[in-house]
Amino acid sequence: MSAAPLRQSRPVSASQPSRSRGASSAPAPRRHLHAVAAPEQARSLAPLAIACVAIVLAALASVLLINTQMTQGAFERRDLKIEIASLHQQQAALVSELESFSAPNYLASAAEELGMVPASASGFISIEDSTVLHQGD
């Protein structure tokens, strides 16, 4: 610490002009006083809070709606897969039945039931000329 004494400052009153070094002793001009507007009231946070809550609720509602739609789609997909499997089984049964009806043994027995007899000879017929082209033995 230094040995120099501390300066104490005096409060300057409004009636006494402040003096600086080297300044003249003329009084400083007074400032005019102005009326100040009252401070604005602090705005309420309620509208912001309500807006935030509304946004969160809307987001939750949209997520719930999307989830519900996806679940409904999953059920429809499952039902369609079951229906497709059933149709595949039905198709397989019909193909099997068709193959059994087109087998040579079945066709021969069905022809005999209708009164048909086996041909003794085979040949070729021209439909345009209505003539027999080749008659087999």
Question: Does the CA dihedral 125-127-130-131 come out positive or negative?
Answer: negative
Please give the structure tokens belonging to residue 111. Answer: 């022809």
First to last CA, the chain: 145
Q: Is the pTM of this model over 0.85?
A: no
- Which residues touch 126 (CB under 8 Å, ≥6 apart)? 132, 133
State how far Cα 13 lies from the chain centre: 73
* Amino acid, res. 37: A
pLDDT tens digits along 1-44 = 455 555 555 555 555 555 555 555 667 677 888 888 888 887 88
- Each residue of 95-123: pLDDT tens digit? 999 999 999 999 999 999 999 988 887 87
| Residues above pLDDT 70, as percent of the chain | 77
